[in-house]
A = this chain, B = another copy of it.
Amino acid sequence: MKTYLDCFPCFVDQALRAGRLVTDDEKLIKELIDYVGESFKDISLESSPPETGEYIYGKIREMTGIDDPYKEIKKSNIREALSLYPDLKKMLDKSEDRMLTAIRLAIAGNIIDFAFGKKFNLKQDIERILKQEFAIFHYNEFKENFENVSSVLYIGDNAGESVFDRLLIEELGKPVTYVVRGIPIINDVTMEDAVESGLDQVAELMSSGSTAPGAVLRLCNEEFIEGFEKAEMIISKGQGNYEALSNAEKTVFFLLKAKCKMISKDLGVNQNDIVFYSINTGNQS
């Protein structure tokens, strides 16, 4: 997805919120905002928003010396999600279509996202998303593809959401490689978070090497790019990965809740819609 003009106020807003998380020094935050503003001219409308995210959060690291401001928040979100895990498993046991329920749960987990200012209530949001209609629903394409593959590349998004990903991976029942970010960025899932979420027990873990809040290919390592190119099936979680990969020349199944106004517009859905969208399957509805 390209950068929209409407992304620019949001870049400043994200810098402001991230800055406040690491410091209460107003002068330092103003400096960060000045830096982001000064960078506007270097941000092409052809770049994807996570590339700008890399820029902003990189600057925060540089200015504050704090590498992982969301560390404690991430740990707490993983703990909360793990505490729900047994009940979520029971939900699956009771459901008519286990795979579809697992997909819904994986989307429900996508509300654990600190790139936006919105608050969430995990339990309530799960209840709602389990009943919510999909705005885009390429489930049949998914099932057809899935039958014919021997493995899946699964690109994770946020820490905590990672526990919900585990549920879906367990339902897939085929070898899965779970991809994490290269460094801590916002509350995105890293290798450490994936292990804490128990994903090492159900998947092979791989770092994309990405320093952006999304698998922006030009920022990823060779191992991931090779894995991406060779993958028989790719599942991509969340907004950042959609922004990074929506123009990829591979069949990618995107699972996300469209929280951002511009991503919703790009997908042609309403804000807060849930989406199961595939590109390049030749079967798009």
Contacts and interface: CB of A to CB of B under 8 A. Distances in A.
A112 interface: no
B16 A37 contact: no
Main secondary structure of the interface of A (DSSP, over half): helix
B5 A29 contact: yes
A6 B16 CA distance: 7
B8 A16 contact: yes
Interface in A33-49: 33-34, 36-41, 45
Contacts of A37: 8, 12, 36-41
B26 A33 contact: no
A34 B43 CA distance: 9
Q: How many copies of this kind of chain does the complex include?
A: 2
A268 interface: no
A51 to B, nearest CB: 16
A64 to B, nearest CB: 16
Nearest to A41: B34
A26 B46 CA distance: 12
Contact of A45 (B8, B9, B30, B41): B30
A9 to B, nearest CB: 4
A41 B40 CA distance: 13
B16 A33 contact: no
Contact of A9 (B12, B29, B34, B40): B12
Given A5-B26, A26-B45, 13 more contacts: A5-B16, A5-B29, A8-B16, A9-B12, A9-B13, A9-B16, A12-B12, A34-B40, A34-B41, A36-B40, A37-B40, A37-B41, A38-B40
